[in-house]
Amino acid sequence: MMTPSAPLKVFVAGSTGQTLKLVEALAADARFSITGVLTPTPKPIGRTQTLTLNPVETWAKNQQLPIITVFEKIDKIVQNEIIEHKNKYGCDLLLVVDFGYFLPNWLLNIPTIAPVNVHPSKLPAWRGSSPGQRVILAGEIDSAVSVILVTENLDQGDILAQLPLVVDPTWDTQAYYQAAFNLIAPNIAEILAKFAAGEIKPTLQPIDSPTPMAARLVKADCFVPWNWLTAACGWEINSETSSQTPGLLQDLGSDLRTGQKFIELAQLLHQASLAFSPWPKLWTLLPTPKGPQRLIIHETSLSASKQLKLAKVQLEGKNPASWEEIKNNWLK
């Protein structure tokens, strides 16, 4: 490591508003200079499918910084652009946050100091792309934000810093990530500066994680069978068991019930409604006179007797409504 006499040159790989919080914090610190960004190509957004720049690319464009975009993968063309950028501007640190693409070894070797990642979980717990969702789904209160070195093994790099994060049980995923990045943003510059100066010695992570991999969520992960909901709500409704596999919820429920922690079904589904919000959303198949209808569950609560209560729901293709309205008009 070295004691920098000039601003540390940081090349950023990322896309989201959470990434931007860290970029802006470093850009406001005289010890750092953002030299450019590596970011996904614009994606079509909304019903009109308008191509829209992500927050990091928008910021870089406003700052008149070099922008390198990635479509499906970091191919040879992108590699040449990155190497050319490194030769022209230099790169002391590569900051990778919410990037979403596989990082080849040659890219990890681009920075002269190190590639660094911010991961919003208490590593080695919840490695993967959806750590916040898994923390909430598991009902954990004790979490953290980890600053780690990037290696070829996903989220297994040495830890530079780990800031404790106490999880509010009312948080959904959006609130969790906002809190995590609001916590790390004011601290990221000091952590990276001390690391570059040799004042922080990386801590080796355990190879094994105490939790399953927090893989990227898809809508199928968020399905809950209708009979699970009726049981959790304490309803005496004659309903057939769905043939669709509950997937992630079933797996997690089994893991928690065979471990030291036991979560009742109602509690698990309430946590799922928070973990899967604002996306992809907990959902079920509601039996109606017209056949099974996809029902999105926006909001739930727990009664004093620890039964699940449905609050805001939405039949696919319809507007959000109260459960009482849906029950009276659609339930057979």
Residue 214 in domain: no
Residue 43 in domain: yes
Alpha helices in 43-151 (DSSP H): 55-62, 76-89, 105-108, 131-137
Measured from the Cβ of residue 70, the count of other Cβ atoms closer than 10 Å reads 20
Task: Say whether pLDDT at 93 is over 60.
Answer: yes
What mean pLDDT is predicted for residues 308-327? 95
Q: Are residues 155 and 12 in the same domain?
A: yes
Residue 132 in domain: yes
Residue 210 in domain: no
Domain of 153, CATH number, reads 3.40.50.170
Each residue's pLDDT tens digit, 267-309: 999 999 999 999 999 999 999 888 999 999 999 999 999 999 9
Task: Say whether pLDDT at 255 is over 60.
Answer: no
Q: Are residues 237 and 185 in the same domain?
A: no
The pLDDT-based confidence of 262 (bands split at 50, 70, 90) is low
Domain of 325, CATH number, reads 3.10.25
Distance CA(251)–CA(174), nearest Å, equals: 23
Of 153, 181, 196, the last residue of a domain is: 196
Task: Say whether pLDDT at 248 is over 90.
Answer: no
Q: Are residues 160 and 15 in the same domain?
A: yes
pLDDT of amino acid 253: 54
Q: Are residues 134 and 102 in the same domain?
A: yes
Give the domain extent around 40: 8-196
Q: Are residues 59 and 176 in the same domain?
A: yes
Of 196, 228, 251, the last residue of a domain is: 196
Q: Are residues 54 and 139 in the same domain?
A: yes
Task: Say whether pLDDT at 243 is over 60.
Answer: no
Say if residues 96 and 115 touch (Cβ distance below 8 Å).
Answer: yes
What mean pLDDT is predicted for residues 133-151? 96
Domain count for the chain, please give it.
2
Only one residue has tokens 């319809």, namely 318
Q: Are residues 41 and 97 in the same domain?
A: yes
- Phi, psi (deg, nearest 5) at residue 176: -60, -50
Of 181, 196, 211, the last residue of a domain is: 196
Q: Are residues 185 and 294 in the same domain?
A: no
Question: Which of 274 and 220 is assigned the larger pLDDT?
Answer: 274
The pLDDT-based confidence of 240 (bands split at 50, 70, 90) is low
Residue 3 in domain: no
Is 62 exposed, middle or buried, given 0-12, 13-18 or 19+ CB atoms closer than 10 A?
exposed
pLDDT of amino acid 290: 87
Full-model pTM: 0.92
Q: Are residues 98 and 166 in the same domain?
A: yes
Residue 203 in domain: no
Tell me the CA distances in angstroms from 196 to 3, 56, 106, 201, one per residue in order: 7, 24, 21, 10
Report the candidate in 119, 169, 170 with the shortest Cα–Cα distance to residue 142. 169
The pLDDT-based confidence of 105 (bands split at 50, 70, 90) is very high
SS3 content of the chain, % helix, strand, coil (to 5): 30, 25, 45
Count, residues in the chain: 332
pLDDT of amino acid 30: 98
Residue 84 in domain: yes
pLDDT of amino acid 250: 64
What mean pLDDT is predicted for residues 125-135? 96
Task: Say whether pLDDT at 98 is over 90.
Answer: yes
pLDDT of amino acid 260: 41
Report the candidate in 32, 74, 47, 324 with the shortest Cα–Cα distance to residue 192. 32
Q: Are residues 52 and 179 in the same domain?
A: yes
Task: Say whether pLDDT at 67 is over 50.
Answer: yes
Residue 211 in domain: no
Q: Are residues 25 and 160 in the same domain?
A: yes
pLDDT of amino acid 1: 46
55 prior amide bond cis, ω within 30: no
The pLDDT-based confidence of 239 (bands split at 50, 70, 90) is low
Q: CA triplet 50, 54, 56: central angle to 5 degrees? A: 160
Report the candidate in 218, 166, 160, 214 with the shortest Cα–Cα distance to residue 189. 160
The pLDDT-based confidence of 264 (bands split at 50, 70, 90) is confident
Question: Which of 236 and 113 is assigned the larger pLDDT?
Answer: 113
- Phi, psi (deg, nearest 5) at residue 143: -125, -165
Q: Are residues 156 and 257 in the same domain?
A: no
Distance CA(68)–CA(70), nearest Å, equals: 7
pLDDT of amino acid 34: 98
